[in-house]
Amino acid sequence: MWTIHTDSFWPAHRKRKSGPASLTSEVTHYQHGDSGSASNAEPKPKRRQTPSHPRTDRKPYVCKRCGKGFKQSSNLNVHLRTHTGERPYVCKICGNGFKQSSNLEVHLRNHTGERPYFCKTCGKGFYMTAHMKRHLRIQTG
């Protein structure tokens, strides 16, 4: 069972803040395993949302062909390549084309033999994390 204490219980652990207004919030005393049904249990404090960073699901960049929206223009540009078939990043060794430079970088590991991801159980190396994860699923059952 673990316990969370407020600053008032543990003053030695308070963080010192500079400036005119210190925004430390008081955290209620909770114990892990409390059901919250007891009469002395207080509700969990809600996380405060910073007004300068409100959560938004706005997607102002919209594909004119299919209507899919994106938060960033760069993601729209990558998406447009699915419609045009453009593959501007070409492997100089084998000629394979890729829509994103990061995919070309991963592909080049095929040619260089670089295997930066290793299985902790058997030591086998992989050039993609997805291949290592698949290996681990098969290995662990």
Is residue 47 a contact partner of residue 30, using CB atoms and an 8 Å limit? no
Is residue 99 a contact partner of residue 89, using CB atoms and an 8 Å limit? yes
Show pLDDT as tens, one digit a residue, over the chain (141 residues). Answer: 444 444 444 444 444 444 444 444 444 444 444 444 445 556 666 666 566 666 677 999 999 999 999 999 999 999 999 999 999 999 999 999 999 999 999 999 999 999 999 999 899 999 889 999 999 998 887
| pTM recorded for the entire structure | 0.52
Domains of the chain, residue spans: 89-140
Is residue 45 a contact partner of residue 27, using CB atoms and an 8 Å limit? yes
The continuous run of DSSP H or E covering 62 comes out as: strand 61-62
Strand partners, 125: 118
Just give the CATH number of 89-140. Answer: 3.30.160.60
